[in-house]
């Protein structure tokens, strides 16, 4: 059995439709979906705000590379172009964390680094993750840490920049609010 945490985001075109397309494309593999948040762009490139969510996925036939592959297929279906690092995009699907057979996956491959090397710095990942998995743990520099602690260590401005929306995705929890 493989399970993963996917971070999804969009800030071009019909942002909500792009996120819904991910959940629809994952089908029964999507076992939990966070509320949708609005967030300022991360990385210093001037652009519109993102809609972000987390999707927990499971599939007995999948491995970490399969989650990457399906994420890239969904990005392509949404017309994703990779022109500017951290630039605007129709859809971004990141594999944040993965486990196979109950063991956390580790990878140094530049195409798929696991656990995601910047997830612990991104409130737009941590806040919705806690909505669907309140006891989540993420390994940072070789040490497993509760996601709740990692979030608390972020700058207050980073946390407050993740704002609840009225938008919902199929299978989402009813309300957000882990940012407090």
Cβ–Cβ under 8 Å, residues 137 and 146: yes
Residue 32's SS3 state is strand
Q: Compute the distance between CA of residue 93 and CA of residue 3 in angstroms, rounded to an integer.
A: 15
Total-model pTM: 0.91
Copy the structure tokens of residue 103.
Answer: 């063991």
* Helix segments in the chain, DSSP class H: 15-26, 64-77, 123-132, 147-153, 156-160
Q: What values do phi and psi take at 148, rounded to 5?
A: -60, -40
- pLDDT, tens digit only, all 180 positions of the chain: 899 999 999 999 999 999 999 999 999 999 999 999 999 887 676 779 999 999 999 999 999 999 999 999 999 998 876 666 666 788 999 999 999 998 999 999 999 999 999 999 999 999 999 999 999 999 999 999 999 999 999 999 999 999 999 999 988 765 444 443
Q: What values do phi and psi take at 99, rounded to 5?
A: -135, 140
């Amino acid at each position: 059995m493989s399970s993963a945490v996917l971070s999804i985001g969009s800030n071009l075109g019909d942002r909500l439709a792009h996120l819904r397309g991910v959940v629809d494309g994952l089908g029964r593999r999507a076992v939990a979906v966070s509320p949708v948040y609005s967030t300022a762009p991360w990385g210093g490139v001037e652009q519109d705000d993102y809609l972000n969510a987390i999707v927990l996925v499971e599939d007995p036939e999948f491995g970490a590379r399969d989650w990457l592959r399906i994420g890239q297929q969904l990005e392509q279906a949404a017309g994703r172009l990779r022109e500017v690092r951290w630039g605007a995009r129709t859809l971004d699907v990141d594999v944040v964390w993965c486990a196979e057979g109950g063991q956390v996956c580790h990878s140094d491959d530049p195409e798929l680094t696991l656990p995601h090397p910047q997830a612990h710095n991104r409130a737009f990942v941590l806040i919705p993750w806690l909505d669907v998995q309140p006891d989540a743990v993420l390994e940072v520099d070789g040490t497993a840490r509760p996601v709740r602690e990692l979030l608390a260590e972020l700058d207050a401005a980073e946390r407050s920049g993740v704002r609840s929306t009225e938008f919902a995705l199929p299978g989402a929890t009813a309300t957000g609010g882990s940012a407090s």
